[in-house]
A and B are shown apart, each in its own frame.
Chain A
Amino acid sequence: MAATAQKRGARSAPRNRARLRRPRFFYRHPGQVSPYLAVTLLMLMVFGLIMLFSASYVTAYYKHDGNSFYYIGPQFLYALAGLGVAWFVSMVDYHWLRQWTWAFYGVTLALLVLVLILPDLNGYHRWIRLPGLPNVQPSEIAKFAVILYGAHLLDAHRRRLQTLWYGILLPMFFLLPILVLLKFEPHYSAMVLMVCILMTMIAVGGASLRWLFLGAGGVGAVGVVFFLVQKGYVEERLAGWLDPFSDILNSTMQTAQSLYTIASGGLFGVGIGNSVQKNLWLPEAQNDFIFAVLCEELGFVGACLCIGLFAAFIIQCAWVSMHAPDRYGALLGIGITAQIAWQVFLNIAVVTNTIPNTGISLPFFSSGGTSLTMLLAQMGVLFSICRAGNANQALQRQLEKERQAADRARKEQEQKARRQDFFGA
């Protein structure tokens, strides 16, 4: 079944690919990166690093031999390296990536299989831990694989998106193996996130609204069935969601402590660095629950500012996507934007117990090398789209100018001719 589908996808792809020019690696004439987007990103990163240090040093001190810099140190280096990567990637024509779509997808599947074979950590097969190398989380890579193939498929079959198969089922079909592998890790939050990203891309891609709602309903139904199979686990999660203080010493501890932490901030917070809850009360303060520490230290006002900053960032990312030079770039950009947007939303929703607890990190804030590097590399792709878009706009403006100049020249010529006709007569 999977093989046939792949063949059908592959059969239709070459026709499109054949029309593509051979993509270059670097832009010949790179456009400008939006300075507003760049500054917003830098603000988020600086904000994130400051919060990470504040939120993590206690945990680092107590759990890692008194090394308060255990989390922030590597994160800072990853951030610097990631910015370099982003800058480099931004110079690369994003069309160049397109030819590696299926290779990247294959490597991702391989990594997801590999991580299942490798020994677990606390019962979770989420990290590839090779001695001497940073830990790699294949699910982070998988997100980008999904974005890549999604953009590719939704662009390649642009004319047939109104059909159920090309509009929805085909992109979802390639997600299945990834979801299955993630299920075995298990990493439900990554599954949820990938479905959200892909659904967003499908929605904006141009699927017919009829199939879109039907598809959303279908995904929802599959989700419900899936969770019903996992009854005990989900029931516990749901009970914990409805009453986060029901089992405060065990299953609902994270949520309850998160709520305590957030509430402790009040309107203006206790001041940066002054969180009390980060003193081991709040689990994963340096990771999934870093936003709670932010809420405690900076209060409602600071939390709103942070959300506002993310909103500004996401809007600019979307703006960049919408001004991509072509449809593929737009879809790629929207995929990346959707990933960040959904992660922000789901993370804060979990931290505030708006939705049941599941482990999703907050982009640019949570500790994690793979995540940050991948994020910044993806930002590089977005910057690349931004460059291409700006270059395209600049070209259009220039052409427009030339056309207007030509018009003016032609009009002047005509006037001149009329005058000559008139006076010359």
Chain B
Amino acid sequence: MASTSRTISPAPPKPQPGVPRLLSRRTAILLGLFVVLGFGLLVGRLYWLQITMGDEYQARAAAQQTMDATLPALRGNIYDATGNVLARSVTVWDITADPTVCDPEGIAEASEGLAEILGLDADEVYQKLSDTSTRYKVLAKSVDKPTADAVKAFVSDFDKDLAVITTQTSVRQYPCGAFLASVLGFCNADGDGFYGLEKYYDETLAGVDGRTVTVRNRWGYEVDNDQATTYPAEDGKSLVLTVDINIQSILERYLSEAIDTYNVQERGVAIAMDVNTGAVLGMASKPDFDPNDPYNIYDEDLAATLDGLDGEAFTTAQGAARERQWKNKAITELYEPGSVFKLVTAAAALDAGAVVPVSSFNCPGSYTVADRTYTCFNHKAHGMQTVGQAVNNSCNIAFIQIAQRLGSEEFYEYYNGFGFREKTGIDLPGEESGISHSLSSLGPVQLASSSFGQTHKVTPIQMITAVSAVVNGGYLVQPHLVSSILDSNGNLVEEIDPEPKRQVVSEAVSSQVVSMMEGVVDGGSGRNAYVAGYRIGGKSGTSEKLDVDANEDGSYNVSYSFVGVMPVDDPQIAVLVMLDDVRSDTFETSGTISAPLVGNMLSEIGPYMGFEKDISNLSGTVTVPNLVLGNLSSEWILAQSTLNSKGLDHELVDGIGQVIHQSPAAGTKVPLGSTVYLYTQGTEDTTAAVPDVVGRRGEFASQMLKAAGFNVVVSGPENGLVTAQSIEKDSQQPLGTLITITTTDSSGGEE
């Protein structure tokens, strides 16, 4: 201290004392301890973290950093045979948020902005963004590109932390709605095929998702670097169906109308199949659903019942109700085929040589096998019949005898041969294979019952496949729905044309049975399936549902079916309809229920398929029959059958029901092929404006007038120039009004 005070003297400078040794020593010791122990500890700690634990922590870090983004493969489309889109996938965007990394101070403002873009409630968005218990909150699903872009722009312009991201995904659309639904099926929420073709061909349709592995930041944004690895998606393939939407819509329309008309409780099925290839041209199954919203219950009664339930009862009932509408009743549900099965028995017996077409069988009205007595419908005694007549009469007793001649072993063999004990292998999931007798259990009674289609159960697809074999020359074909598979660019990848599985009966037998079937429609029990000009074969079937408890009056619920085949001289297509549990008060034979249904379908399918009408035996002018009779025959479907059989077309103007008015009126003489307009709700004619056809060619003029809703008589050469029309142009006339056009044989034939 003394030395310091001396330094006050200005000059010369004296050296200062320096640092005391104690201080220096303690500093040196502390410094040494600090550097060696302190920094040593830190280095050791770093070694532990970076080298020892490095891999483990690094893996955890990588797990949070890398975003393994799926590049969703676009699911393939489904087209009908004519190229219409039945199912397609559309690219959309999901908007999601990670609330844990959103700035709480910015949420309120962000919620309002996002809600406006997304069309949501701002409070709701605010709730979602505030829920920091999760890192994944869905704000909106399936928005379109402009909306997604607007969200992106909003987020990137937002000045506070806002972890909201858009994810590309796709939704499945079914442009036709509730159409072919049980065949198409639908996809679940994950976009995987869940029912129908969507499920069966899921792998084909789905394609292979691609991936991009990118590094992302906490907000989910990609980090710009060169480490991103992309495996491109391979889009799904498309299916082209054998189903033709025109045929399908004919089936669906008539089936729905028939279900209403006949009060069908359980289900209705209609299948149209190419008998030679097994290609399914149409397959309708009711009740059904709209695959765009498959979880909704479309049966109003069921939906109302569900509304009254809750808890487990609701869940169970809802599940059952969905199952009911989703199921493809043509392949998953069984029925007793009834008399339609007689075609199989007949073909088998003929092929086995047990009978010949002219073999005769007596029907005394009742017939006892072992302890059971069988009768025919209405206890009728058919007397002596050939095989053909037995088919025509649908005589149970004759068929019991035919089966007895065949013997249970042969019967069993043919039963197998026609594919009733196996799945048809149609390209749909959930197919059933039927319930049938084993050979050992096929005793005399079972054989007798089986001969006319009772005591064993089949699926509608099995039945129509067997009938196809009966009529196509004996070949058991493979029913299928997909004709070809296209890649995402529309190139053909695979053509599906399965070979027949086997020949069950000879071609000769086949044609014998076909001609017997023609007899059924041509004046037999299936005459309501007759369409003038076409040669149609068919067979009806009625089966009592003996396995379901009888009604109070002792009767059993009944299912009605009918199979129609055309053209008889070279069978091309078969149509099978089946209405399960018909509760109609007024109709109780397949002849008035399922036969006219198939007839009406064929009357439209035939022309669409381009089958030529043979009108050589038909008169060119037809007298319009009276359809307003006030009895059963006035029911729209029978009225239409009547018109079919006369060679007239028909159009229901105002829906199904009893015909109470018609145009043209009964007794009017009209050309063959004219259309009779049927009214079931009101007796007032609907009118249309008469087009001006003067100066046009006759054929074109006829088409114009028919399209406008009128019938046409051509006076003069068929395709001559129209010089006059019997009803003034532009005047309003009732639909169906007969208009005569006068033509002259002009020289300018090739205009």
- Cα-based distance from A29 to B28 in the complex (angstroms): 29
Say if the beta carbon of B23 comes within 8 Å of chain A. Answer: yes
Q: CB distance B42 to A348 under 8 Å?
A: yes
State which of B30, B39, B50, B101 has its C-beta within 8 Å of the C-beta of A311: B39
Give, as a whole number of angstroms, the nearest-CB distance from A259 to chain B: 6
Does B378 interact with chain A (Cβ within 8 Å)? no
- When the two chains form their complex, are residues B159 and A352 in contact, meaning their CB atoms are under 8 A apart? no
Roughly how many angstroms separate A202 CA and B24 CA in the complex, as a whole number? 13
Q: A263 and B34: CB pair below 8 A? A: no
Query: Per-residue CB proximity of A209-248 to B under 8 Å, as 1/0?
Result: 0000000000000000000000000000000000000000
Q: Which of B23, B31, B223 contacts A327 (CB 8 A)?
A: B23
Scoring A262, A277, A307, A310 by chain B CB atoms within 10 A of each residue's CB, the highest score goes to A262
Interface residue stretch chosen among A172-180, A391-399, A411-419: A391-399
Q: Say whether A249 faces chain B, with CB atoms less than 8 Å apart.
A: yes
Contact B26 A315 (CB under 8 A): no
What residues of chain A lie closer than 8 Å to B217, measured between beta carbons? 58, 62, 279-281
Tell me the bound Cα distance from A134 to B14 in angstroms.
Answer: 44
Stretch at the interface among A79-87, A181-189, A297-305, A365-373: A297-305
| Residue numbers in A under 8 Å from B4 (CB-CB) | 19-20, 326
A123–chain B nearest beta-carbon distance, Å: 13
Query: CA A348 – CA B41 in complex, angstroms?
Result: 10
In the assembled complex, B1 has its CB within 8 A of some CB on chain A: yes
Q: Interface residues of A toward B: which range?
A: 35 or more
- B100 to A, closest residue via Cβ: A249
Taking a contact as CB atoms under 8 Å apart, the answer to whether B39 and A345 are in contact is yes
Contact flags B98-110 to A (C-beta < 8 A → 1, else 0): 0011000000000
Within 330-358 of A, Cβ neighbours of B (below 8 Å) are at 330-331, 334, 341, 345, 348-349, 352, 354
Answer yes or no: A261 CB below 8 A from chain B CBs. Answer: yes
Q: Does B546 reach chain A (CB closer than 8 Å)?
A: no
What are the interface flags for A351-391 relative to B under an 8 Å C-beta threshold, 1 for contact and 0 otherwise?
Answer: 01010000000000000000000000000000000001000
CB under 8 Å from chain B, chain A span 257-308:
259-267, 274, 276-277, 279-281, 295, 299-300, 303-304, 307
Stretch from A41-49, A68-76, A317-325 at the B interface: A317-325
Given A266-B58, A300-B46: A392 in contact with B8 (beta carbons within 8 A): no
Are the CB atoms of A304 and B46 closer together than 8 Å?
yes
Contacts of B100 in A (CB 8 A): 249
Task: Specify the chain B residue showing the minimal Cβ separation from A329.
Answer: B19
Q: Report how many residues on chain B are interfacial, defined by Cβ distance under 8 Å.
A: 57
Of B22, B27, B47, B218, the most chain A CB neighbours within 10 A belong to B27
With beta carbons under 8 angstroms apart, the residue of A330, A348, A396 that contacts B19 is A330
Residue in contact with A281 in the complex, picked from B7, B15, B20, B218, CB distance below 8 Å? B218
Question: In the complex the two chains form, what is the Cα distance from A352 to B57 in whole Å?
Answer: 13
User: When the two chains form their complex, are residues B46 and A264 in contact, meaning their CB atoms are under 8 A apart?
Assistant: no
The one of A249, A315, A325 in contact with B16, judged by C-beta atoms closer than 8 angstroms, is A325
Known: A19-B1, A206-B22, A315-B31. A262 touches B50 (CB 8 A): yes
Answer yes or no: B407 CB below 8 A from chain A CBs.
Answer: no
Contact A206 B23 (CB under 8 A): yes
- CB proximity of B46 to chain A, nearest CB, Å: 5
* Chain B residue at smallest Cβ distance from A212: B26
Q: Does A150 contact B (CB under 8 A)?
A: no
Q: Check if A406 is an interface residue, CB within 8 A of chain B.
A: no
Query: 27 A-B Cβ contacts within 8 A?
Result: A19-B5, A58-B217, A62-B221, A206-B22, A249-B100, A260-B58, A265-B54, A274-B225, A277-B61, A279-B216, A279-B223, A280-B219, A281-B65, A307-B39, A311-B35, A314-B35, A323-B19, A327-B20, A330-B27, A348-B42, A349-B41, A352-B42, A352-B45, A352-B46, A392-B15, A395-B13, A399-B15
Residues of A within 8 A of B (CB): 19-21, 29, 58, 62-63, 65, 200, 203-206, 249, 259-267, 274, 276-277, 279-281, 295, 299-300, 303-304, 307, 310-311, 314-315, 318, 321-327, 329-331, 334, 341, 345, 348-349, 352, 354, 388, 392, 395-396, 399
